Amino acid sequence: MNHTKKCWAVVPAAGVGKRMQADRPKQYLPLAGKTVIEHTLARLLQSGAFQAVAVAISIEDPYWPELDISQHPNVITAPGGKERADSVLSALKALEGKADENDWVLVHDAARPCLTTEDIHLQIDSLKNDTVGGILALSSHDTLKHVDGNCITTTVDRKHIWRALTPQMFKYGMLRDALQQTEGNPAITDEASALELLGFQPKIVEGRPDNIKITRPEDLALAQFYMEQQT
Ligand SMILES: Nc1ccn([C@@H]2O[C@H](COP(=O)(O)OP(=O)(O)OP(=O)(O)O)[C@@H](O)[C@H]2O)c(=O)n1
Ligand SMILES: C[C@](O)(CO)[C@H](O)COP(=O)(O)O
């Protein structure tokens, strides 16, 4: 029996980036001399932490085959799905026969290009002996309000509210089964929510605040700034 758990990366990269209002999906926008996705994949591959990276790409994506990294020997391409969770499940299925049930999988958004090797190894070292796994997350430095419409209903205790980042690190078999059992549930916007729905309590590991998700137009300049600060 293989007692040494390996680590695999899964990158959902099949979104259209509606909120970015760009002429192409945001993972293909230019950033610091490369595309967003090339930065993200380079960060994962250069960390040395992963056996391979399975990337979910939309079947209608004309950009991916143009990138040299699409031919990288440690990059496996899988067809994207309707929702992010479907894309992640598709990429997990592409690792069938390669990943063992208890290997770790770190799921990381293509739209988060500022991830550091430091945070990858912090997460793996923090969770490698855990029974469930967990996510990188950020605490809030602001007062938090619960709002209904545009009215405040209450002030929320900020120590109980954290912002989920990626990577999200779970065991291959457990994550695959959780996503299969919750398939089609619109509440599943990250991997942890699928595990939570099945009664598990994923851990959090405080990550770096520069691990932003490029979501709206103004995020691209912020990502560029953070990348310049990281070099
Ligand atoms: N069906 C989908 C939807 C999203 N994603 C990926 O999931 C990550 C995080 O999702 P999000 O920021 O919501 O990306 P989009 O869905 O592209 O953005 P939008 O909601 O603005 O369209 C992105 O890397 C995106 O490419 C995916 O692989 N498959
Ligand atoms: C998974 C995620 O990055 C955690 O914050 C996020 O939920 C994905 O982006 P979306 O806007 O929710 O699709």
- Read off the pLDDT of residues 152-191 as tens digits, 9 standing for 90 and up: 999 999 999 999 999 999 999 999 999 999 999 999 999 9
196-231 residue pLDDT tens: 999 999 999 999 999 999 999 999 999 999 999 997
Q: What is the mean pLDDT of residues 38-54?
A: 98
Residue 5: its pLDDT value, please?
82
Looking from the CA of residue 213, the nearest atom of ligand 1 is 12
Among residues 207, 224, 223, the alpha carbon closest in space to that of 215 is found at 223
Q: Is 191's C-beta closer than 6 angstroms to any atom of ligand 2?
A: no
Q: How many whole angstroms separate alpha carbon 156 and alpha carbon 150?
A: 16
Closest ligand to the CA of 40: 1
**Probe residue for ligand 2, chosen from 106, 119, 190 as the CB with the greatest number of ligand atoms within 8 Å:** 190
7-136+164-230: which CATH topology? Spore Coat Polysaccharide Biosynthesis Protein SpsA; Chain A (3.90.550)
Confidence band, pLDDT 50/70/90 cuts, at residue 4: low
Name the phi and psi angles at 184, rounded to 5. 85, -5
Task: Answer yes or no: is pLDDT of 1 > 60.
Answer: no
Q: Between the CA atoms of 88, 90, 91 and 94, what dihedral angle is there, to the nearest 10 degrees?
A: 160
**Probe residue for ligand 1, chosen from 43, 53, 109 as the CB with the greatest number of ligand atoms within 8 Å:** 109
Looking from the CA of residue 26, the nearest atom of ligand 1 is 17
